[in-house]
Structure 1
Amino acid sequence: MTEIRQKTVLITGASSGMGKAAAAMLADKGFRVILLCKNKERGEKAQAELKQKNQRRELELALCDLGSMKDIRRFTDEWNKRGEVLDVLINNAGVISLNRRETEDGLEEQFGVNHIGHFLLTLRLLDTMKRGSRIVVVASGAHRIGKIHFSNFNLTYGFHVIKAYSQSKLANVLFTRELARRLKNQGITVNCCHPGAVATSMGIDRESGFGKSITSLLKPFFLTPEEGAQTTVFLATSPAVQKVTGKYYYKEAKEKTSRLAKSKSLAEKLFVLSENITDERLINHLPIEQ
């Protein structure tokens, strides 16, 4: 009798909010969940809390800073050496910064983490994906007001938090569409979603605490992290979307995107820019055949 292999899902930004909620929901569905976190202390705390609520949950903590291409390469090298199949990748982590900040590589933080960090992580993890694997990108309705500022993507001039965040979220949708197109023959699906307005700590400055009081006041009007994670989990698990790829979802249903998000030429241009920034090529990371 053939033993059924337990499926593995990796979630970025899994120490809090929607990432943590999705981890709980997927672990309860029988997935082995890799919590990919930047901060060891917060990651261990989240892992312990999730385990405390259900001891049967299979949870593994892994550390990676999505604002560091060097660290992403370190983590993916370690993961790929294990030779394990990755069934689902959920690109959930996200940052919002009121002031212009840069990643270790000198990229504007929101573009650098929300898009470029996930772009590099995804390409390098493709080495251990197979036909039937799924990639889920947590985007945002903010993509509708976004533009890709190709001549100023680092926003070294004219920075504004909304301009930066919406650019990174439009990049998420364009990346989803272009990667789905390029992986179509590999049998790997790539979809993205808008989780809705969710009460998380993403907009709170961890050092100063700025934004905490505003978030507390608005919390009754927001979705819970569990409600926000539902569409992510749907895209990661539902048989209904097993062969659907390159789409944008909201409340477990296909949703229209902005006009710019539909642009094939824009998606291809961004993909090439991202390959050049990371010095990584998709052709070098085509999935294993199984």
Structure 2
Amino acid sequence: MLISAVGTAVIQPLGRQMAKCSHLWGIRRYVAGQTCRSNAKLHGKVVIITGANTGIGKETARDLARRGARVIIACRDIVKGEAAACEIRATTGNEQIVVRKLDLADTKSIKTFSETIQQEEKQIHILINNAGVMMCPYSKTADGFEMHLGVNHLGHFLLTFLLLDLLKQSAPARIVNVSSLIHRFGTIKFNDLQSEKWYDSGLAYCHSKLANVLFTRELAKRLQGTGVTVNALHPGTVASELLRHSSFMLVISKLFTFFFKTPMEGAQTSIYCAVAEELDSVSGKYFSNCSPTSVSREGQNDEVGKKLWAVSCSLLGIHWD
């Protein structure tokens, strides 16, 4: 009787603890999301990833390097870029990791980067527009654009425009735009596109992520028949340097790390969109957790998408039919 009672006293709490751990593990697996299961190899392929010196960009670069790709890390901070490149070379054994300077807040830098790439590379097979800013204080780019709009949307819009001929020549090729679920809270305010009348850092980020979705959908229509596809994605809520401008989000990410994706987990959908064989002819879609998902009603507004395209071309001084 005594042994039985002791056994019960020990086993029942242990069972409850195991059940609790199992429940927590289930939550953690849900937060982590799906893993890209593709075994595609990228030997002989050239990949450009913006902002690949840190966060999900760096983990995306590491994965594609393991697959054999020549990976170009396009970032503003060359020192950090070289440090990331050294680490990726060491962990993957791939020596074809190069760093090139790119400041998406300066159209001159974007044009210089594009010229360098066209001189150095004969092909580009994958362009991943990953870099971004989030919830930063009101500021403007070198060209006078509100920072979120300028970096997250206009910078990548111009970069894609300048590299598109090389992508077409390299077809089949892919463009991957990192957006966010937060695009659902965004609107495109054509009467105050630069947020000069009223500014909220959180909403400015939402607007720019909506612009990524609209850009993706409109570009997909224009790329039909070229062999180049373009898709957008939500990486998940990731604990990364992207949160550096928000003290609140930094504290939350530290206190509730359990509920945030790691950069490696956050990179999975970017990787999936870049390599998955089943996406060879898929274009204009939006993905989350390595699966297609819906976008907001505003994100499906083709008229807004066309107008944003025209306005973006006008702001950048380019003609892109």
Taking structure 2 as the reference length, the TM-score comes to 0.83
Would you say how many aligned residue pairs link Structure 1 and Structure 2?
278
Of 9, 12, 18 in structure 1, the residue corresponding to residue 56 of structure 2 is 18
Of 182, 200, 209 in structure 1, the residue corresponding to residue 240 of structure 2 is 200
Alignment of structure 1 residues 121-270 onto 2, 5 Å: 121-130=159-168, 131-205=171-245, 212-270=250-308
Of 53, 68, 77 in structure 1, the residue corresponding to residue 91 of structure 2 is 53
Distance 2:136 2:230 in 1: 30
Contact persistence 1:28–1:57 (CA under 8 A) = no
Distance 2:315 2:172 in 1: 29
Alignment of structure 1 residues 84-123 onto 2, 5 Å: 84-123=122-161
Give the aligned partner of residue 6 of structure 2: none
268-277 vs 214-223, which moves further: 214-223
Deviation at 1:151, TM superposition (A): 1.1
Cα 1:5/1:202, change in 2 over 3 Å: closer
49-58 vs 192-201, which moves further: 49-58
Q: Which structure has greater helix proportion?
A: 2
Give the AA of the match of 1:215. Answer: S
Distance 1:70 1:40 in 2: 17
Deviation at 1:5, TM superposition (A): 6.7
Contact persistence 1:98–1:160 (CA under 8 A) = no
Distance 1:83 1:50 in 2: 21
Give the AA of the match of 1:175. Answer: F
Give the aligned partner of residue 20 of structure 2: none
Distance 2:265 2:134 in 1: 21
Q: CA RMSD in A?
A: 1.7
Distance 1:281 1:44 in 2: 35
Superimposed CA distance per residue, residues 195-238 of structure 1 (whole angstroms, 9 cap, x where no aligned partner): 11111110204xx9886444322322101111111111111111
Contact persistence 2:43–2:69 (CA under 8 A) = no
Deviation at 1:57, TM superposition (A): 4.7
Alignment of structure 1 residues 38-49 onto 2, 5 Å: 38-49=76-87
Give the aligned partner of residue 320 of structure 2: 282
Taking structure 1 as the reference length, the TM-score comes to 0.92
Distance 1:54 1:176 in 2: 31
Superimposed CA distance per residue, residues 71-97 of structure 1 (whole angstroms, 9 cap, x where no aligned partner): 101111121123511000000001013
Instruction: For residue 177 of structure 2, give the secondary structure of its aligned residue in structure 1.
Output: strand
Instruction: For residue 61 of structure 1, give the secondary structure of its aligned residue in structure 2.
Output: strand
Give the AA of the match of 1:193. Answer: L
Unaligned runs of 5+ in 2: 1-41
Contact persistence 1:191–1:247 (CA under 8 A) = yes
Superimposed CA distance per residue, residues 86-138 of structure 1 (whole angstroms, 9 cap, x where no aligned partner): 00000000101342111111111001000000000000011211231100000
Distance 1:49 1:56 in 2: 10
Identity rate, percent? 40
Distance 2:251 2:276 in 1: 37
Distance 1:214 1:72 in 2: 34
Distance 1:57 1:233 in 2: 20
Superimposed CA distance per residue, residues 218-263 of structure 1 (whole angstroms, 9 cap, x where no aligned partner): 3221011111111111111111000000000011111011001001
Instruction: For residue 193 of structure 1, give the secondary structure of its aligned residue in structure 2.
Output: strand
